[in-house]
Each structure stands twice: as structure tokens, then as C-alpha cells.
A and B are shown apart, each in its own frame.
Chain A
Amino acid sequence: MSKQLLIDALKGKRTSRAPWLPYAGINSAFLTNETAENYLKSPDLIAKGVENAAKRYRADGIPLIFDLSVEANAIGCELRWWADNVPSVVSHPCSRMESPGKLGLKVPTRESGRWPVVLEAGRLLKPGLDALDCAMVGLCCGPLTLASHMAGVRIFTDVYKNKDFAREVLEFAGEVNASSAQYYAEMGCEVIGLSIP
């Protein structure tokens, strides 16, 4: 296991082998016999599950969580929880073409939504991953995905039909992404990614 191998590869350097970065995600809950809901709501279970997965898979890097609903939930979107999957975002505040500004949506703070759980999980997990020489990866929900959480599927046609509205939603989503990246950096993540578009 080698976090430097992963970092070098991401920087475009030739490495002695391909680094291994399993997106274990909710699989980490399954490996520790936890339901997805219990797992994602508990910093202790997340830390235990990810460290277990990193050891089992002999990972060079591993995501802290792979859950694209965190940012949407922190903005105020409602979630539907599942036993064997990450939550689904089921409310879309901008779906009637009201912009984030008009709705008074705010960029999440460290106290918003499930960020306290994620931040605490990162704090608990980091020493264990360091001992395994495994990079901790922070995954932010990408701006278009977050925009789709905020506006619903209409965003995919709004980028063509209602460009100004789509731009406002995407710009706000970008600001939220920036805050997520900052929080993951503060946690000590060696790698931060956008997932997915």
C-alpha cells in the first residue's frame, strides 16, 4: 500500500505499478455487516468500515465516503434512505425555476446537514489510514450532479433552453463544491476529486 504511488500517478508520473483505489463506498458497510443508513449516520462506523476496507483490499487510496447526497442534504434537500444503498435526493428546491439566490440558499457550513458526521469520520479515520500508508480521498459531488439535485432532471435541458437559470444554479453548485473541497482538505485528504460531472 502506498499513498505516494497514487499521488505520483495522479500527477502524471510513471509509477512502478498502477495504484489501486477501490471506491469501496457503501460496500464498506456491507463488509462490516451494517446497513447503509446506520453506517452513513455514524462517524465511528464509517471510520471502522473504511479502515477495514482499506486493509482488506490493500488499497493505496480510498474514499472517506462515496455519497453524492451530502452536499444536497446540507443545502436542505430531503433524502430517502435505503438499507443497501446511499440515500437518494428526493426534493429539488429549484425545480420551479427559482434560482438559489431567490430561494435564499446558502453555501453549507461545517455544521450543515451531515457535514459534522463526515468531518468527525475523517478525524477518526486519518491516523489509521496513515498507519496503512493509504491516502484518504475526499469526493465532492460534482457541480452538474449537484445542480440536478437542486433543480431535478430539468437542468439537463435548461442548459439549452433556460441558460441564465441554469448558469445561476451551476454557479451556486460550484461554490458549494469549493466549500466541500475546503473541508476535505482540512481533514487531511491527500486526494480530492469531483464525482461525477
Chain B
Amino acid sequence: MPSIEDILRSIHDAVVAYDEEGVKKAAELYIDEGHDALRGITDGLAAGMATVGDLFKAQEYYVPEVLLCAEAMQAGLDILTPHLRAEDSKSRGRVVLGTIQGDIHDIGKNIVKLMLEISGFTVYDLGTNVPYQAFVDELVRTEAELVGISAMMTTTMMGMKKVIQLVREARPEVGILIGGAPVSREIVKMFKADGFALAASDVVDEVKRVLALHTA
């Protein structure tokens, strides 16, 4: 009988290999063996995506591989999530997410959403081409603690300054993350956001860091 570590390793490796059937098989075995679903998600699936993020940063994986891995991970989530205990399903925080007005790119945003959800965050996804004010309205409606704004183009990225201003006025206690191809640390500083993640796999740590800043 394989050990729990062996099965978690199988889940991890299958995610990295974008082996959807392999993930399903390992996840089913994991549940059949009576193991804790949350650990399967964090130490199997999310750990696999973290490795995928490292491969992406090392330019060994590109967007298509990341998408395939995300699909494999989703297959595992579909099996493990129904077995989460009620206390494990409790949200670690609420995040409003969207691609900014004028921009319809969403691959990165969707991967970020997946990473946050598997890490226990509740995500309110506004989709793409989100009007500036809509970010604020959703923050007020959901009482979310953090907003993530995505842009793929330098032209649409400029709108982030306006959203940040509106958010600071309406809910100054909210953490603000920005992201997307044109975004850098210099842009974060210039726009006075709170943070950003170079790869989707880094977003969970960055969200935790920013939330800690705002609750300190």
C-alpha cells in the first residue's frame, strides 16, 4: 500500500506532467485511502502548481503548459473538494478579481483565480473589460479584503491608477494587487499599489503578505 507521501508525490508529479488521468487516479486513490482532502489539495495539487510556476519562471514551461497543468489540477480539485471538512472549507479571505476596462485578456487572471481558490480564498471574479467603478462596487458589496487588477497591455494598464485611487477613497483598508504582462515592481511603486506576482504560483504568498500588511 503506498504511503500518503507517495500518493501526494504522484498527484504532484501528475500535475507537473499535465497528466489529467494520472491526477484523477492518484486523487481517487488518496480519497479511497481515507486521507485528508485539504492536505491533498495543498501538498499535492497546489504543490504541483508551485513547481509549474518555477518551470514557467525558468522558461522551461510556457503558457500552454501552464494551462494544461491547470486543467489537470482542476480535475484533481473536482475529486478532492467534495471531501473537504466544513472547517477546512472556511474562507481564508475574500478577493475581488478582474481584468481592467478596455482589456479582454484573462488567461493569467484565471490561473490566479484557481491558485487562490485552491488555497482557500473566496474569489469574486468580475471577468474582463471591467469598468473602473465596478471594482469598487464589488469591494463594497462583498466586503472583500483585497482586490486584484489584471492588464495585458500598457494602454489598459494605465487605467489601474484610476482604480487604485477609487479604491483608496472608498475602502482605504483594502489591499491592492496588480498584475499582467506589462506590470513590474516599478509600476507597483509608481501606481502605489500594494504588490504584484510575477507568476501565478507566487500570488498566494503575495496575497498573504499584503493582507498581513493591512491587518497589522
Contact = CB atoms under 8 A, between A and B. Distances in A.
B67 A84 contact: no
Given A157-B68, A157-B71, A160-B68, A88 B63 contact: no
Contact of A90 (B64, B104, B107): B104
Given A80-B104, A85-B102, A90-B104, A157 B155 contact: no
Contact of A82 (B63, B64, B71, B102): B102
Nearest to B101: A82
A157 B64 contact: yes
Contacts of B102: 82, 84-85
Contacts of A153: 67, 107
B182 to A, nearest CB: 13
B55 interface: no
A138 B102 CA distance: 26
B153 interface: yes
Chain A interface size band reads: 10 to 19
Interface in A70-91: 80, 82, 84-85, 88, 90
Interface in B28-86: 63-64, 67-68, 71
Interface of B: 18, 63-64, 67-68, 71, 102, 104, 107, 129, 153, 155-156
Contacts of A161: 68
A-side interface mostly: mixed
Interface string A12-54: 0000000000000000000000000000000000000000000
Contacts of B104: 80, 88, 90
B153 A159 contact: no
Contact of B153 (A80, A85, A90, A160): A85
Contacts of B153: 85
A156 interface: yes
A159 B155 contact: no
B106 to A, nearest CB: 8
Interface string A99-121: 00000000000000000000000
Contacts of A84: 102, 155
A85 B67 contact: no
Given A153-B67, A157-B68, 16 more contacts: A80-B104, A80-B129, A84-B102, A84-B155, A85-B153, A88-B104, A153-B107, A156-B64, A156-B67, A157-B64, A157-B67, A157-B71, A160-B18, A160-B64, A160-B68, A161-B68
A60 to B, nearest CB: 25
Nearest to B20: A161
